[in-house]
């Protein structure tokens, strides 16, 4: 079990290791032009599968690319669709769970293809292929940023990074208290 996930997502941690990556862009030649050190699609597939294995879970945060490669990904596969992923129906039968937009999977954790700026949650995302886009409450898991191998989601959840985000309930109370204090001071 993975601490910090909502009950409906707890099954992700019951199979074995959980791994997360985005922006594989399998079969898309233009990505190789922009990132010349990028491994071949076969090498990328091999690196991902060596981590996930048959019993693991792979969370892919979008921009998958060629479906022939996606079919060969191992494990129980979850997709949060990206801007290059045209239609959810084309991924049916390839991915076990498909989400068409950002998903709150815990009180403080949003999974999204694009970075989403909210102060009350941590955003695990892809989309930005640049190493130098670190922002508060964000972690980019774009293949080009994380060294072309998925990160261990279990370890991420234990890392303490989620504590950077104030839960929505606490944030709402704090903002209401601040407004009340400002009204008192202005009288």
Q: What is the CATH number of the domain that holds 91?
A: 3.60.21.10
Task: Please give the residue range of the domain that contains residue 20.
Answer: 7-186
pLDDT band at 166 (very low <50, low <70, confident <90, very high): low
* pLDDT confidence tier of residue 162, bands split at 50, 70 and 90: confident
Residue 182 has pLDDT above 90, yes or no: no
1 in any annotated domain:
no
| Residue 169 scores a pLDDT above 70 | no
pLDDT tens-digit map of 129-144? 776 566 678 899 999 9
Q: Which tens digit of pLDDT belongs to each residue from 83-125?
A: 888 888 889 999 999 999 999 999 889 999 999 988 888 899 9
Task: Give Cα separations from 185 to 171, 175, 180 (angstroms).
Answer: 21, 15, 9
pLDDT at 131: 62
Q: Does the CA dihedral 41-49-91-37 come out positive or negative?
A: negative
Count of domains for the chain:
1
Flag whether the pTM goes above 0.75: yes
2 in any annotated domain: no
């Amino acid at each position: 079990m993975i601490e910090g996930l909502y009950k409906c997502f707890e099954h992700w941690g019951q199979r074995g290791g959980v791994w997360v990556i985005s922006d594989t862009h399998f079969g898309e030649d233009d990505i190789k032009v922009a990132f010349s050190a990028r491994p071949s699609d076969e090498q990328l597939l091999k690196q991902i599968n060596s981590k996930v294995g048959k019993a693991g879970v792979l969370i892919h945060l979008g921009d998958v690319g060629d479906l022939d490669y996606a079919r060969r990904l191992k494990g129980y596969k979850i997709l949060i669709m990206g801007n290059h992923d045209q239609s959810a129906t084309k991924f049916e039968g390839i991915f076990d769970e498909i989400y068409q937009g950002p998903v709150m999977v815990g009180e403080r954790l949003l999974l999204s293809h694009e970075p989403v700026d909210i102060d009350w949650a941590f955003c695990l995302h892809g989309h930005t292929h640049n190493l130098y886009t670190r922002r508060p409450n964000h972690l980019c898991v774009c293949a080009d940023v994380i060294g072309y191998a998925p990160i261990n989601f279990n370890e991420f959840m234990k890392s303490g990074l989620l504590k950077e985000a104030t839960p929505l309930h606490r944030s709402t109370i704090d903002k209401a208290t601040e407004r009340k204090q400002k009204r008192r001071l202005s009288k």
